[in-house]
Each structure stands twice: as C-alpha cells, then as structure tokens.
Amino acid sequence: MSTPRGLGFRIEQCPGIPVEEYGVEGARVTIHKFEDGFCYSVNYAFPYSDKVGDYVYKIMEYLTARQVVRPDLTREELGKLIEMAMADVGVPRPLRAPVRFYVQLEAADYSYLTPFFYDVRLENVNVNGVDSPIFVDHRDYGYNIRTNIVPTDREVVLRIISRVYAETGRPLNEQYPIQDTYLRLSNGALLRFATAMSGKTSRNPPYVSVRVQPPEPISPTKLIKNKTITALGLAYLWYLLENLKSIMIIGGTGSGKTTLLNALLVLLPHKRIAVAEETPEIRLPKSFTNSVLLFTSPLYDYQKNLPGSESAIYLIDLVRYLLRARPDLVVIGESRGREIHELIQGILTGHGGATTFHAEDLVEALMRMTGEAMGVSAEHISAFSSVAVVRKFDWGRRVTSLTEVVWLRAYPYPALNRIKIKEEEFGLVEVGSYDRARDTFTIDLKRSFWLQRLGGVEEVTARAELLQALTDKGVLDAEAVAEAVRQYYRLKRKMP
C-alpha cells in the first residue's frame, strides 16, 4: 500500500486585513489588503489538516481499487460510496465530515483547485510548479495576486490537470508535454488551460495557466464603468458595426481584445451575428437566437493523419461556411492566418465584419497583415473601417486609440497622418486617443471620415447618452443592456 500523502497542498496565512468575502464552489474566498497589494485567501468549507489528508488519500485508494467511481455517478451515489469506505477504513467520526468533503472534491471535482476554477471573478489562475504559491488575476483587485494555497506534490497536480485533459480528449504526457485545451464547467464558465508538464521542458513542472471565462458575456456598461472605454467611444464603434462597417481590435495578450469585441456584439440584438473561433470564448446573451457560433474541431494535427480519424476543421473552413449563412456581421474571434482573407472578401461583398489581432499598435498590425506570412494585399487593408487599440496597464485595461484607415486612391481625403504600404497610400484618421497621465480618453467625432459619409454624429451622441445613463443606473447585465437597446430601436421607429 502506498504511503499516505494527503491532497498534496498546504495552506498559508494571508497578511493584511480582510476587505471582502464571498462564496465559491467548495469554499469562501477572503480578499486581504496589505502594504504590497492584495492576497487571495481560500477558506475551504472544512478545515484541512495532514490527518484529514491522510484519510482522504486512503479513501481514494479504497474507491479506486474497487473501481466503483464512475463519471456518471450522482453526488448522492458518490456520497453513499464514501460513507461505506469511511466505515471500512475506520475514519474517526469527528473527521468524517471534512474527509467526506475533500473526497467529494477529489472524486467529483478538481481537488483543492476546485474553488479557483469556479470563481468567475478571476481572470487567470497560475500554478507555478510545486512549493510555490498559486497566483491569480482578479477582475476587481488586479493582477498577479498571491494566494494562500501552495501545491506540494507534483504528482497530485499532474493527476488533477490530466483529468481535465482526459475529459477533453487531448493528450498530456511525455510525448506531448506542452498542451492546451478548454473545458466547460457545470456553471457555464469556460476554462482555457495551457500546461507544461515535463521536467525535460521546464524547471519546476508542472506549470499551468488557466484562463477563466464567465458564463455570461461582459456588458458594454461594465466596460464603461471600468473606464476601459468611454460611452462615446463605444457608441461610435456600435454605430459603425450597425451600418455594416468593419472593426479590428488590436492589442497584446490579455489586453482585453475579445472582451471589448464581445461587449460590442451585445449592442446588436437585431443583427444576425456569425462567429468563428478556435476556442469558444465569445458569448452572446441567450436572447440572441438568430446567431451562429462555430469553433474549430478539437482534433490535433497528429490525429488527422491517423487511419479512421475525422478530418480536422480549421478556422478558415468555418469562415467560408459563415459567409454562406447569410449573416449581417461576420466575426472571427482572433485572426492569425489566411482566414483573414475570407473575412475581407466577406466585408468587400457587403457584410459587416469584426475581429481581433495580436499587435502592439496599428502600424505593426498593418505591416504584419501585408507581410509574407498573412499576405493581405495593400488595397484590402481599408476593408477595416476603424481600428481600436487596447492595452493592459497596472490600473486596468484601456482603449488607447480609435483610428480610421482610409484608402486615399479610392477616397481622396486630407488626412494629416499618412502611411505608405506597398505603393498604396492610406490616411490614418485618429478619432480618439488616450491620455495616460490623466487616465482620460478624448474623442472627436467631427474628425471621423466614416461618420461624415454616414451622417451619424448626432446619432452616435444620442447612443452615448443612452449607454452612460444605463451605466449610471447600474444596469450592468448584458441581457438587460440588450433589452434596453431593443427598446431604444422601438422608440426610434415610432418617431416621425
């Protein structure tokens, strides 16, 4: 029989004073504030001790040896098996409640990592090997926050994470030591895992980064409240998308590109939206029933060549299909390769379009798009009517610029800023810019080339007032914002 090892973690104390407490699956979370920032404290439903951990390990061995734990077991059925096992193993009665709790976590959930995975107020969970505390990014308290939970057993961490990969059908082993996958939890949250598990590729494995996507889309008003973007800036992008112009959102990793794109889509409840993604991150309100949401096949490249395997499905295949599905707006969650050509063709044939792109600024994005790898022809750059740049600062995410790209050969326009790409000249019309020193964003709608053509300055201003009023009233639910937009359109139709 193996030596009892417990659940493979220890609990430390968070410094500072508590500023908030809230419940998550299997625990209470307390946020502590101290001189260096915040600390995230997980307080499990029952106290954990080495003795409790030893008995949990014995019960798990008992259940595993008898092969009685199945994926389809209900919690009630699992509870009866645990009671039988505790009686046979001889767990003292004072310890049975905490042992039962931790066995449930181990067998039915994701052991001591369960509270982290189910906390939708987190953006990211980072496991940095063993004997190092877990760190989190919190939506309300900032980034790189230390927690009180420290993994101590490498094999236990690997067992928990391997369970995730097994559920999603993706290999994680010495042959494939660096892998990613995604998992949908019972509460609707989406977890995106990136794991390095081998000592051959990392110093203190395993390293696990888990991105947490809440089950409901973030609302436009929440972004306004968080100062990510102003109501006027959001109304401007909303108006362009509604009029089937196209938007590109660029920024670095974790800057909030997809979040901004998702919030914009909430403002279009009357449009047929078609979305293609590699990982299903974009979430629409449940009332958006006239929409198409596709994501790529989870099959790996190595699988597609195996006898009898299904053909892999790529992002470009999804975009081609969506263009035949009669959408008003075609959305690619993130453009990285040739799929952007299909999106541009859709835009040029009259569809609205939106996507995100990894780049630090507009010029870098344009140069990469027209480079050899992606191969977008220069004259097609202006298919994207406006480009929003978003960045992540210590104090939050901010849209730092809104710039229109005008092809000067097609639309002679006295743009002050110009750029030449492969013999084609483009005007860069800066509609809005961010002042980092003051943490303010200024937008001048009169500069907009596209609003001059569409005649929508007054309409954009009216929509900004609506969004600001909703924000001031505390209407932060995406479904409620979408309904307010529907009501706005109903009133407009009644106007003479």
Q: What is the pLDDT of residue 341?
A: 93
Do 179 and 271 fall within a single domain?
A: no
Do 190 and 260 fall within a single domain?
A: no
- Residue 89 tokens read as 């193993």
Over residues 172-179, mean pLDDT: 89
Q: What is the pLDDT of residue 493?
A: 81
Alpha helices of 226-338 — where are they, by DSSP H? 231-242, 257-265, 301-304, 315-323
Sorting pLDDT into bands at 50, 70 and 90, what band is 307? very low
- Residue 423 tokens read as 């013999």
Rounded distance, CA 59 to CA 47, Å? Answer: 18
What domain range includes position 454?
Answer: 220-494
Domain boundary among 154, 185, 213: 213
111 domain residue, yes or no:
yes
Do 179 and 113 fall within a single domain?
A: yes
Check pLDDT > 80 for residue 391. yes
Check pLDDT > 70 for residue 42. yes
Q: What is the CATH number of the domain that holds 16?
A: 3.30.450.380
Do 476 and 376 fall within a single domain?
A: yes
4 domain residue, yes or no:
no
Q: What is the CATH number of the domain that holds 358?
A: 3.40.50.300
Angle at 119 (CA atoms; ends 117, 123), nearest 5 degrees: 85
Q: What is the pLDDT of residue 496?
A: 56
81, 70 Cβ separation under 8 angstroms: no
Residues in the chain: 496
1 domain residue, yes or no:
no
Q: Dihedral of CA 95/85/53/51: which sign?
A: positive
99 domain residue, yes or no:
yes
Q: How many domains does the chain have?
A: 2
DSSP for residue 206? P
Closest alpha carbon to 143 in 255, 298, 234: 255
Q: What is the pLDDT of residue 1?
A: 28
Rounded distance, CA 188 to CA 283, Å? Answer: 11
Count CA atoms closer than 13 A to 459's CA, side-chain side.
15
182, 190 Cβ separation under 8 angstroms: yes
3 domain residue, yes or no:
no
CA distances from 187 to 24, 74, 190, 359 (A): 11, 16, 9, 33
Q: What is the pLDDT of residue 2?
A: 34
Do 230 and 205 fall within a single domain?
A: no
Q: What is the pLDDT of residue 310?
A: 54
204 domain residue, yes or no:
yes
Do 415 and 482 fall within a single domain?
A: yes
68-121 residue pLDDT tens? 777 778 888 888 999 999 999 999 999 999 999 999 988 888 999 999 999 999
CB within 8 A of 385, min separation 6: which ones? 240, 245, 246, 247, 404, 405, 450
Alpha helices of 420-456 — where are they, by DSSP H? 449-454
Do 266 and 199 fall within a single domain?
A: no
Q: What is the pLDDT of residue 70?
A: 76
Do 233 and 345 fall within a single domain?
A: yes
Check pLDDT > 70 for residue 377. yes
156: region left, alpha or beta (phi > 0 left; psi from -120 to 50 alpha): alpha
Do 444 and 429 fall within a single domain?
A: yes
Q: What is the pLDDT of residue 109?
A: 87
Give the phi and the psi of residue 294 in degrees, each rounded to 5: -120, 150
Percentage of the chain modeled with pLDDT above 90 = 69
Among 63-72, 133-142, 181-190, 229-238, name the one with the lowest average pLDDT.
63-72
DSSP for residue 287? T
Do 300 and 198 fall within a single domain?
A: no
120-163 residue pLDDT tens? 999 999 999 999 999 999 999 999 999 999 999 999 999 999 98
Sort 41 into a burial class: Cβ within 10 Å, 0-12 / 13-18 / 19+.
Answer: buried
Over residues 330-359, mean pLDDT: 93
Do 110 and 137 fall within a single domain?
A: yes
Sorting pLDDT into bands at 50, 70 and 90, what band is 212? very high
Do 93 and 29 fall within a single domain?
A: yes
- pTM attached to this predicted model: 0.87
Q: What is the pLDDT of residue 112?
A: 93
Rounded distance, CA 61 to CA 83, Å? Answer: 14
